[in-house]
Amino acid sequence: MMIFPSDCRIELPVAVTIIIVFDRILQTIFRVSTVQIPGISQLLPSLYLCGASVISGKALEHLAISFVINIAPELPDTPLPHSNFNCRVLYLRINAFDLPNANLSVHFDEVTDMIETVRQTGGRTLVHCVAGVSRSTTFCLAYLIKYAGMNLREAFFHTKAIRPQIRPNLGFFQQLRAYEQHLHGVVSINMVYYECIRCKIPDVYETEYRAMEDFYQKQKKFKRLHRY
């Protein structure tokens, strides 16, 4: 329920009163929908991604967040808005560390479905871990490929354009590739072997490793030529 200031309750013709009240409603909606908070990235009108350090009850209130997902067992519970906030905030905590062998995929369907349900009811979701780089990004990408009409490659570059520091670990990327295969029957990101680090990486990470791989191959060739 929205409570208006007492100065709205004046004796005016009904039509004028309705116009004043409606204008106050529009101002409130516009203010909520355009507010930006440094460190909190808006991926969609109803989906936000961030690290823990920028979250406060006031920030959640300003953004009109109605659902918070915390994927960081090493952190305390997320600070939620005070009890006088006019929207009850749902809260989900997932205990998973940022390790390649941590299985986030067992939660993909449940979490993405909850985010979509919140969107359909006019709410907004904020997903966070410690830094807003790996775990929380993984769940946001899972949502984008399930409900936003994007493949994994499109979802990754869409999110990276808004939040450049994203970097799901290699294990999470493999889980996302498997999830995309399960949902759509295709895989849009390939895994490429890099000898310099002796493992496969997603092809979207190649620019980070290309110089290292080139240097490694040059050194390998030099040693081979000068072995005798």
129 is catalytic: yes
The single residue of 8, 50, 87, 129 carrying the catalytic annotation is 129
CA distance 218 to 228: 17
Asked whether the beta carbons of 202 and 160 are under 8 A apart, the reply is no
Q: Are 183 and 146 in contact (CB under 8 A)?
A: yes
Residue with token string 């359909």: 120
Q: What per-residue string of b and e applies to 41-79 under the rule 16 or more CB within 10 Å gives b?
A: bbbbebbbbbbbeebebebbbbbbbbbbbbbbeeeeebe
Alpha helices in 163-227 (DSSP H): 170-184, 206-225
Beta bridge partners of 42: 48
Catalytic residues: 129
